Amino acid sequence: MKNVLITGANRGIGLELCRQLSARGDRVIAVVRKSSPELEKLGCRVLSGCDLARPEDLAKLAIDLGTQKLHRVISNAGILSNQVLGKIDGPAIEQILDQFKINALGPVLLAQALRAHMVRGSCLAILTSRMGSIADNTSGGSYGYRMSKAAANAAGVSLARDLEKDGITVLILHPGYVRTDMTGHSGLVEADESARGLIARMDTLGPEASGSFHHANGDVLPW
Ligand SMILES: NC(=O)c1ccc[n+]([C@@H]2O[C@H](COP(=O)([O-])OP(=O)(O)OC[C@H]3O[C@@H](n4cnc5c(N)ncnc54)[C@H](OP(=O)(O)O)[C@@H]3O)[C@@H](O)[C@H]2O)c1
* Residues 31 and 25: beta-carbon distance below 8 Å: no
- Topology adopted by domain 3-215: Rossmann fold (3.40.50)
Q: Is 62 exposed, middle or buried (0-12, 13-18, 19+ CB in 10 A)?
A: middle
Residue of 155, 138, 30 whose CA lies nearest to 102: 155
pLDDT in tens, 89-123: 999 999 999 999 999 999 999 999 999 999 999 99
pLDDT digits (tens, 9 = 90+) for 1-48: 899 999 999 999 999 999 999 999 999 999 999 999 999 999 999 999
The response to whether residue 53 sits with its C-beta less than 6 Å from ligand 1 reads yes
Over the Cα atoms of the chain, what is R_g? 16
- Any atom of ligand 1 within 6 Å of the Cβ of 127: yes
- Residues 144-184 have pLDDT tens digits of 999 999 999 999 999 999 999 999 999 999 999 999 999 99
Nearest CA to ligand 1 atom 44: 78
Reduced DSSP (H G I as helix, E B as strand, rest coil) percent helix, strand, coil of the chain, to 5: 45, 20, 35
Q: Which atom of ligand 1 is nearest to the CA of 77?
A: 24
- pLDDT reported for residue 165: 98
The per-residue pLDDT for 187 is 97
Ligand 1 centroid–CA 215 distance in Å is: 17
The residues near 90 (Cβ < 8 Å, ≥ 6 apart) are none
Domain spans of the chain? 3-215
Residue type (1 letter), 52: L
Going by C-alpha positions, the residue among 202, 175, 201, 172 that lies closest to residue 187 is: 175
The answer, yes or no, to whether any atom of ligand 1 lies below 6 A from the CB of 189, is no
Q: What is the pLDDT of residue 158?
A: 98
| Model confidence band, residue 190 (pLDDT cutoffs 50, 70, 90) | very high
Q: Write down the pTM of the prediction.
A: 0.98
Closest CA to 123 of 60, 214, 43: 214
Ligand 1 pocket, residue 187 CB under 6 Å:
yes
Over residues 206-223, mean pLDDT? 98
Ligand 1 contact via 161 beta carbon (within 6 Å)? no
What is the distance of C-alpha 212 from the center of its chain? Answer: 15
Mean pLDDT of the chain: 98
What is the reported pLDDT for 109? 97
